[in-house]
Amino acid sequence: MNAVLRHPGVGVALAYLVGIALRVRYSIDVHPAENFINSDMRLYVDTARNFLATNGPVGPWDATLPLGFPTLIAVLLSHGGSLARVAYVQLAVGCLVPGAVGLLGAAAFGRRTGLLAVVVASLYFPYIEYGALFLTEIHFTLWMTLAFAGFLGAIGARRRGVSLGLAAAGGVALSIAISMKNVALPAALVFFAAEGVALLLARPAGASSPSSSRPSSSSWRARLRPWLLRGTLVAIGAAPLMGVQTKVCTQANRGHFCFSGNKPAADILLGHYGQILTIDWAADEGHGYGFGSPGSVLRHYDDRVKVAWPITDNAANAAEAWRWIRKHPFDAMVLSLDHIWDTFFGSAMWPSFGHPSWPFAHLFQYVFVIMLFIPTLFACRRIAKDGARALLVSRTALVLSPLVGLAITVAIATGEVRYRVPFDVFFIVTVCAFAVGELRNHDRYAGASTKTPTTGK
């Protein structure tokens, strides 16, 4: 019995159960999602009800958001369902997130990392908070984490069939994540680009000098073949849902191509139109929109701007954004830097900074900076002592590479802490690996070994 109690899995299970208890108590008694329906939450719920009434999206105003979450709400509201049913699903998904983070940690660095990551994610307040709100973040966190766990598991799998199966499963999870938030796509693209670069830069086993590690063209092809095959399987896994979503979105958008939401240019304009609080777009058949950014609220911007075209007119939004950027190139660059700063170091996540939970939102932003961001820098510094090449080919750099996709996305559009919270899983697993001593065990190669290129390891 004593041996059982000393097993680390017991402590992990206890922390996970505490996390579930906290989520249940918070979601049902302290912060029920039904009592906090405004702004984006209201838009998701109203869009879902429109889907129910019209049997799906029928116009551009129904496709301003990625279709995944409104569709899920519509399904849950059908056949007499209520918002309470949606709230229970949010709670259930929130309870699954720590397990997914544990899988990511195990796939990236090892079993001990995965166990500690479960503990951290179980007690991490942002993942409790977003499970008690009608927002996409908790679903996006779950499916993006599972997708990258699949990608990393495919790299580490010793059997080719397992590797390809995990890649395809990761593609399916990625498509669900993209249906919730578009930023999953650039994150995945940067991840695969980082792995490809690392494979080209990695020295073969036994190489002791740069000259002896210079690969031939056949060696490059051998290194990249499993990478290309895994990438193909990911695309195949993601294709069915992405194809359906693109078809439905394009039809609703009056035949104009729409991948996952039809207002990307509006987001660019919102982030690069000066120090503005909101933009009010013209109505389209009675459907008008006014949007702002929480970053603008926290920076105390006051100007409200009106434009003469609807939010879904990507050509007009893009033209106006580029006109302003060309006229104010320095201001645009600074705004992009502001968006990156607000994403990583903003005061607190929206909408929590305006809710009774604001003390926890502020506290856990400090937790992120002190206990996740700074230790991650130390982890990278330890690897970088062996040179820039060692850092670039490290598993740590590969695990953190989706953050580059996030940073590029918010620099182009707008930034806020809420956008970063799902990506905190990459900080969590890196810091956990650093803490348990598994960080260095996986830093010789970012991806596949050159010894056995067909197995995915």
pLDDT band at 217 (very low <50, low <70, confident <90, very high): low
Measure the CA–CA gap between 425 and 419, rounded to whole angstroms. 12
**pLDDT, tens digit, 9 for 90 and up, residues 159-190:** 999 999 999 999 999 999 999 999 999 999 99
At 392, list the tokens: 């670039």
Confidence check: pLDDT of 17 > 60: yes
Residue keyed to tokens 């990236």: 108
**For 357-373, how does the pLDDT look when each residue is reduced to its tens digit (9 = 90+)?**
999 999 999 999 999 99
Structure tokens at 225: 């073949």
For residue range 85-141, what is the model confidence (pLDDT) as tens digits? 999 999 999 999 999 999 999 999 999 999 999 999 999 999 999 999 999 999 999
What is the phi/psi pair of residue 282, to 5°?
Answer: -65, 155
Six-digit token string for 167: 């890649």
CA 375 to chain centre: 21
Q: Which position has the token pair 């951290």?
A: 120
User: Is residue 4 pLDDT above 60, yes or no?
Assistant: no
pTM (two decimals): 0.93
Q: How many residues does the chain have?
A: 457
The pLDDT value recorded for residue 335 is 98
Phi and psi at residue 305, in whole multiples of 5°?
-115, 140
pLDDT, tens only, 47-61: 999 999 998 888 999
Q: What is the mean pLDDT of residues 14-20?
A: 97
Share of the chain above pLDDT 90, in %: 80
Position 76 scores a pLDDT of 96
Nearest to 125 by CA among 14, 27, 48, 230: 27
Distance CA 350, CA 141 (A): 16
- Residue 439's φ and ψ, nearest 5 degrees, are -60, -45
Q: How far is CA 90 from CA 41, 160, 423, 443, in A?
A: 13, 36, 18, 36
- Amino acid identity, position 316: A
**pLDDT for residue 214 is more than 50:** yes
CB 345 within 8 A of CB 370: no
